[in-house]
Amino acid sequence: MDFIRKLWNAGLSKEKTKDVIRSKYKKWKRCKQV
C-alpha cells in the first residue's frame, strides 16, 4: 500500500512539473513574439 502511494505521489509531482514547465515555456514564447 505504501509503495503504491509513493508511486502515485511521484507520478502526480511529475505531472505538476510538466505543467509548470509547459506554462513557463508558453509565457517565454509569448514574450519572444512581442
Average pLDDT over residues 13-25: 89
Instruction: Please state, rounded to an integer, the average pLDDT across all residues of the chain.
Output: 87
| Residue 30 CB-half CA count within 13 A | 6
Q: Report residue 25's pLDDT band, with 50, 70 and 90 as the boundaries.
A: very high
User: What pLDDT does residue 22 have?
Assistant: 92
Average pLDDT over residues 2-14: 86
Residue 34 predicted with pLDDT over 70:
no
